[in-house]
Chains A and B, each alone.
Chain A
Amino acid sequence: MRERPPPLIVGAGPAGIRAAITLVAAGLRPVVVDEGHACGGQIYRQPLAADKRDDRARYGSEAAKASRLHRAFAALGGDIDYRPNTLLWNLRDGAADILRDGTSRRFAYDGLILATGATDRVLPIPGWTLPGVFTLGGAQIALKAQGCAIGRRVVFAGAGPLLYLVAWQYMKAGVDVAAVLDAAPLPAKLNLLRALPLAPGIVLRGLRMAAELAFGGTRVQFGVSGLRIEGEGRVARIVYHAGGRERAMACDGVGYGLNLRSETQAADLAGCAFRFDPRDRAHLPERDAAGRSSVAGVYLAGDGARIAGADAAEAAGERAALALLEDRGLPHDPARAADLEHVLARIDRLRDLLEAAFPFPSHGAGDIADDTLLCRCEEIRAGDARRAIARFSLTEMNRLKAVTRIGMGRCQGRMCGAAAAELLAAQTRRDIGAVGRLRAQAPIKPIPLAAGLSIDERQHDPAH
């Protein structure tokens, strides 16, 4: 009898790491494919080269969790088939196509855990493509992985808990954080008080960060709207409305983002059914409490399935791995599985409150100025999209893509898709859930034409 192919875990952030540890403990040897150079994902990203900072400086309050995960993953050693710096670019019929160092390879897997993580969600604002403007996640990566700041005097703007976390991390790193401009009005923050009994540690830590920022001289402004970034050739100032008037603030770096969006292309290529999720304002792959998708043998965990943060990702990664073991008829721990589902349910209630405390400024899509770039890759402006929607009576995202090229460029809609959906919904007066979702196509990210035919590990490497 031929040996069963190994399970495949995509992503080595908190969800992927926990999944790998769980499968190894059960005697399996999973393949772990990750785009990063080292494990940790975005939240626990490791430096490209050793610098003088320790984990405490790099990860702040989350240092203990980061160190624990990094060590546990390193301890797996040869018990996993770990492929860092590797892009998963297609999935079909139980085979995965990956790219590393410009060469494509293909191997068979049996059981797939997708822990693909998230990227920033943005709504375009005037000046958002000026040099010196970063997403919040990008600003954080610069700091964690390279020890670089995005400017000397930096403003963080947008919405979501990450806004305060990144601003605080910058302040701690010695950067002049001029302002935190929060789109949510102050009353929304009352939801944090409701969240206090659920997760006192998280809520208090967040409030402490905001307080430390304010005491440290950072202007913390709620109810901000009408953001625009100005400068000749690069960021010079940010202009905004708050308290009934327009204000301006000089800066040379801006971190901007409106919470996060899930990376769902791999789930789409794997054939998973999707469903609209009102909290994330996105179509997400369906899953049960254990992380099983609509496709047998495909499991979903972490922010790639739905935004819930790093603690939930750890729990969901382990839970998904337990489901894989159960479905494979291997020994698993039902009591542990139940505990994990309990943890995930509690975090889910917390996320509902956090979303209410840091709401997405959905009204903003209708206000995007016509001359603001909506799709950077294909250089499509909001006005181009609006004219196409009217001319072709468009109501659906893939049609908007077909007619305007929005989402057809290098990012394949990962950067612009959420904003384009908001704009289409606003213009056609539809609910954001009613405009559809961009269908994913391979390759998940660009691959070189010179990649050559895939080296087929199914023939060359039967030991796997």
Chain B
Amino acid sequence: MTRRIDCDVAIIGGGLVGSSAALALRGMGLSVTLLDKGFCGAQASGVNYGGVRRQGRPSEQLPLSQRAHAIWPRLQQLIGIDGEFLRSGHLKLARSADDMASLERYAAEVAPFGLDLELVGHNQLRERFGVMGDLVGGSFCPGDGHANPRLVAAAFAAAARRAGAEVLENTEVAGVSRTFEGFALEAGDVAVTARSVINSAGAWADRFARAFNEPVPLERTYPSMIVTEPLDPFLSVNIGIEGGGIYARQVARGNVVVGGERATPLDNPDYSRPHSDGALTIMQRASELFGPLRHAQAIRFWSGTEATMPDRNPVLGPSATTPGLIHAFGFSGAGFQIAPGVGEVLAELVRDGQTATPIDAFAITRFSPASQPGGALKQQ
């Protein structure tokens, strides 16, 4: 028998974005139904590297990122656990003088945003941070850090549920359409009607955008990660590198998480696994950078399914075709840190139709001029 739910807001996708939006909306007193085709926080939100990093983001993301930055230290009050969030600092390394110049340019560019970046030289890398290898220097962002994604995403969903959101897992949205009063969603044996819909379906979000005539060039990417057995503490900061190729952090328990390279999808493209070569490559790079890793064992590889946009910025904001529909997806491998801020912004967009945080750069219309109001006419 079909169960009928009527609510203010239906959220498609229970990742960190959808779950934090659900919690923020409950805080405003709106009724929320959060739907996930699997388990909340089990996809990219829950299996990502866990970097809580502002450094390196394009300047248009920094207002949103700063908003999220204020939320991370308050997780305990907000969701009941601290999510193993550590304000360890984020150190971005430079392998060449060119890369170092690039870090210097970035530091100058984002100075107005107050990231307090500190440029450090080769000797300091070794003395202060224990990083070896053939490096020129780095840029240190003391306020950044890392957290446990497996806990944070699940805890936002659990907190939303405790706050009264209807959280429906293993409930895939088969269809969503605009009605006179709002939206109608079909999901298994559940029929939901809602005034507003948030599309936070991650790597599956393009399907829902397309249903409202807003096709997007979303591509799936599959980051590849490994984790070591627990080791004595040697790495106090979250490590990245200019130009990419490796990132690493050591958790409180002692395990070192190292990412880099790309995995590839399995026969079912919703799932992926790292390639042996990719995993061995990042293991080798990591053992070159950090002495203690030379005698360590890797105990697990994994990957996740991430939605990436061509310009590496997310799609965030109201639909251009359908009133009441709001998109939030395509975080392009850098969604974990800003997601709690995105949740607040989404709640404001639902309640007020606007937000004080600048998000114009993330409008869905940037990919499809024809879908802009009047766009088709202008072309003629």
Contacts and interface: CB of A to CB of B under 8 A. Distances in A.
Interface of A: 90, 92, 95, 97, 104, 106, 269, 271, 378, 391-393, 396, 398-399, 402-403, 405, 408-410, 412, 441-443, 446-454
A192 B286 CA distance: 57
B273 A441 contact: yes
Given A443-B299, A448-B298, A450-B295, 19 more contacts: A92-B276, A392-B155, A392-B158, A396-B39, A399-B42, A399-B154, A403-B150, A410-B297, A442-B279, A443-B300, A443-B301, A446-B297, A446-B298, A446-B299, A448-B297, A449-B294, A452-B280, A454-B276, A454-B280
27 contacts: A92-B276, A95-B276, A106-B276, A269-B273, A392-B158, A399-B154, A402-B42, A402-B46, A402-B47, A403-B150, A403-B151, A403-B154, A408-B299, A409-B229, A441-B273, A441-B301, A442-B273, A442-B301, A443-B300, A448-B298, A449-B296, A449-B298, A450-B284, A450-B287, A453-B277, A453-B280, A454-B280
A409 B299 contact: yes
What 8 A-B pairs have minimum CB-CB distances, sorted nearest first? A446-B297, A402-B150, A449-B283, A449-B287, A97-B276, A446-B299, A90-B276, A449-B293
A95 B42 CA distance: 29
A396 B274 CA distance: 23
Contact of B275 (A92, A396, A408, A443): A92
A99 to B, nearest CB: 11
Contacts of B301: 441-443
Contacts of B300: 408, 412, 441-443
A17 B229 CA distance: 33
B298 A447 contact: yes
B253 A378 contact: yes
A399 B294 contact: no
Contact of A402 (B154, B274, B275): B154
Contacts of A443: 298-301
B228 interface: yes
Contact of B273 (A92, A378, A403, A454): A92
Interface string B46-78: 110000000000000000000000000000000
Interface in B149-163: 150-151, 154-155, 158, 161
A405 B295 CA distance: 23
Contact of A391 (B158, B266, B302): B158
A427 B42 CA distance: 21
Contacts, number: 95
Nearest to B226: A449
B311 interface: no
B267 interface: yes
A392 B276 CA distance: 33
B291 to A, nearest CB: 11
B281 interface: yes
Given A106-B276, A441-B273, A451-B280, A393 B158 contact: yes
Contacts of B155: 392
Contact of B284 (A392, A405, A452): A452
B275 to A, nearest CB: 7
Contacts of B275: 92
Interface string B19-44: 00000000000000000000101100
A451 B151 contact: no
A124 B179 CA distance: 55
B158 A454 contact: no
Contacts of B267: 271
Given A393-B158, A412-B300, A441-B302, A398 B42 contact: yes
A441 B266 CA distance: 13
A453 B284 contact: yes
Residue of B293, B296, B300 contacting most chain A CB atoms (<10 Å): B300
Contact of B274 (A410, A442, A452): A442
A393 B299 CA distance: 28
Interface in B239-279: 253, 266-267, 273-277, 279
A444 to B, nearest CB: 10
A88 B268 CA distance: 24
A449 B154 CA distance: 30
A226 to B, nearest CB: 32
A441 B302 CA distance: 7
B172 to A, nearest CB: 16
A355 to B, nearest CB: 32
A449 B286 CA distance: 8
Nearest to A97: B276
B344 to A, nearest CB: 23
A280 B211 CA distance: 46
A354 B300 CA distance: 36
B288 to A, nearest CB: 10
